[in-house]
Structure formats: structure tokens, C-alpha cells
């Protein structure tokens, strides 16, 4: 298979426009400022960028590093933008999402799908298990970010929550970067691309996963930490 071929994933080409249409209809009733609409557009662009472009082709046929970046986008980056896109008036109509269960669900889902035998099974069944994996990544990602963006926690508690999410999820990337042998049979057997060995690919994957997670988590953590200190100054 040509590694630079576009995937034209039919599920993504249906699901992402459907979500965009649903959002467009929602904001007609619950108006949103332009920055929230831009967040919705950003989430859609990110999802399409990792599901219909050569990123998808390389992730599912050649390199673990591309697949892990794809997972971070689907499980963390795109859900955050999607939750930011929701107007508060619409969010208020959604049942409250408790922070601790939301974080626990996201962590358990993230960890289970990275178990070697489940990970390999998903890659060998891209039209069933892999789609389920990505769907659950996105849904639990929405749950993860909902208490941060629309919850009633204080700014300090939100900063602690985001920091805890990063700390509890980061061992996966660190493990992949440090383990001295490949752990996913699928990528050991995959055709080599650009001369990257399975072990080097795994090490790159672990580093990329940690870095891309750190970018989004520490950005949000910094926002709420600064807000917390400002609130304390105002109170004083």
C-alpha cells in the first residue's frame, strides 16, 4: 500500500460532517461567540486530519508513532476543542458530569486499549474494534474535559484535576519510550518505512505521545493556575 495515499475513511467522512451539522443546528438555538465556533471547526479539522489523510494510512499500516499521535488527537486534543465549542446555555442542559468518575473512565479506557493483545487485535480489525477504540477515545475525552470547561469546580481544583490526568496517563508514553524491545506484534510485522526499526519507532512513539499530551494538559493547567492566583489576589 502506498504510505502517502489518503485513507478517505468513510466513517470519518460521515461522522465528522454529521457532528458539524449537529453543532451548526445547536448554535442557531444557543448562539455562540466566534471563538467557540472556531473551536468546533478546529476539532473537525483535527479529526479529519488524522483519519482521512496519509496520517491514517501510515498509522494503520506502518508506524506506531503515527498511531499514537492519532490517538492523542482523538482522545485529548479534539475532545477539548469540542467541549470548548459548547455554549454555556447548551451545556447547562446537559446532566452534570462528576470529575472523578469522568477522569477514571478516561484513564481506564486509555489504559485498556494500550494493552498489547487488545491493541494488536484492534489494528487487525480496523473496521470494527479500531472504530470502537476511536469512538470510546473521543467520548471519554469529552467526559474528561467537561468538568474542566463546564463544571462547577474552582479554578484551583480544575488545575489539580488536569495535572492529575497528565500524571496518571503519562506512564504509558514513558514505558513505550524506555522498554528495550517492541511490545506490539502488529508493528513488528509491519513493512518498514523510512528505515525506522520497530524499536526506534516505539521509542519515538513514546516520546511523541508524552510531548503531545504535555502540550495540551500543561496549557490548560497553566490557564487555570493563573486564574486561581488572580482569584486569590482579588479575594485578598
Residue 191 per-residue DSSP state: P
- Give dist(CA 68, CA 89) in Å, integer: 35
Structure confidence at residue 11 (pLDDT): 84
- Give dist(CA 149, CA 80) in Å, integer: 9
Looking at the predicted structure, is the pLDDT value of residue 213 above 80? yes
pLDDT band at 27 (very low <50, low <70, confident <90, very high): very high
- Give dist(CA 234, CA 224) in Å, integer: 15
134: nearest Cα among 219, 52, 39: 52
Share of the chain above pLDDT 90, in %: 93
Looking at the predicted structure, is the pLDDT value of residue 221 above 80? yes
104-155 per-position pLDDT tens digit: 999 999 999 999 999 999 999 998 999 999 999 999 999 999 999 999 999 9
Structure confidence at residue 92 (pLDDT): 94
72: nearest Cα among 211, 224, 184, 220: 211
Share of the chain above pLDDT 70, in %: 100
pLDDT band at 233 (very low <50, low <70, confident <90, very high): confident
Structure confidence at residue 234 (pLDDT): 81
Structure confidence at residue 235 (pLDDT): 77
Looking at the predicted structure, is the pLDDT value of residue 29 above 90? yes
Quote the pTM value: 0.95
Structure confidence at residue 30 (pLDDT): 96
Mean pLDDT computed over every residue of the chain:
95
- Give dist(CA 171, CA 175) in Å, integer: 6
How many other β-carbons are positioned within 10 Å of the β-carbon of residue 9? 23
Please give the grid coordinates belonging to residue 127: 473496521
55-104 per-position pLDDT tens digit: 999 999 999 999 999 999 999 999 999 999 999 999 999 999 999 999 99
Please give the grid coordinates belonging to residue 178: 524506555
Looking at the predicted structure, is the pLDDT value of residue 8 above 80? yes
What phi, psi does 197 have (nearest 5°)? -75, 160
Structure confidence at residue 74 (pLDDT): 97
Contact of 138 with 74, CB cutoff 8 Å: yes
Please give the grid coordinates belonging to residue 202: 516505539
Please give the grid coordinates belonging to residue 15: 461522522
35-41: average pLDDT: 98
Residue with cell 510531548: 211
Amino acid at each position: 500500500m502506498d504510505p502517502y495515499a489518503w485513507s478517505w475513511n468513510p466513517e470519518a467522512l460521515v461522522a465528522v460532517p454529521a457532528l458539524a451539522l449537529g453543532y451548526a443546528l445547536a448554535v442557531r438555538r444557543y448562539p455562540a461567540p466566534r471563538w467557540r465556533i472556531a473551536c468546533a471547526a478546529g476539532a473537525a479539522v483535527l479529526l479529519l486530519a488524522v483519519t482521512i489523510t496519509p496520517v491514517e494510512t501510515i498509522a494503520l499500516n506502518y508506524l506506531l508513532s503515527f498511531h499514537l499521535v492519532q490517538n492523542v488527537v482523538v482522545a485529548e486534543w479534539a475532545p477539548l476543542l469540542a467541549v470548548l465549542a459548547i455554549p454555556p446555555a447548551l451545556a447547562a442542559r446537559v446532566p452534570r458530569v462528576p470529575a472523578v468518575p469522568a477522569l477514571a473512565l478516561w484513564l481506564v479506557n486509555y489504559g485498556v486499549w494500550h494493552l498489547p493483545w487488545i491493541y494488536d487485535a484492534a489494528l487487525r480489525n480496523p473496521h470494527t474494534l479500531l472504530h470502537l477504540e476511536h469512538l470510546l477515545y473521543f467520548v471519554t475525552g469529552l467526559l474528561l474535559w467537561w468538568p474542566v470547561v463546564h463544571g462547577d469546580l474552582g479554578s484551583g481544583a480544575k488545575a489539580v484535576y488536569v495535572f492529575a490526568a497528565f500524571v496518571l496517563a503519562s506512564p504509558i508514553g514513558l514505558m513505550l519510550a524506555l522498554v528495550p524491545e517492541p511490545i506490539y506484534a502488529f508493528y513488528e510485522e509491519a513493512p518498514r518505512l523510512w528505515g525506522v526499526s520497530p524499536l526506534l519507532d516505539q521509542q519515538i512513539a513514546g516520546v511523541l505521545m508524552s510531548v503531545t499530551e504535555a502540550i495540551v494538559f500543561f496549557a490548560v493547567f497553566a490557564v487555570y493556575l493563573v486564574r486561581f492566583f488572580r482569584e486569590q489576589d482579588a479575594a485578598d
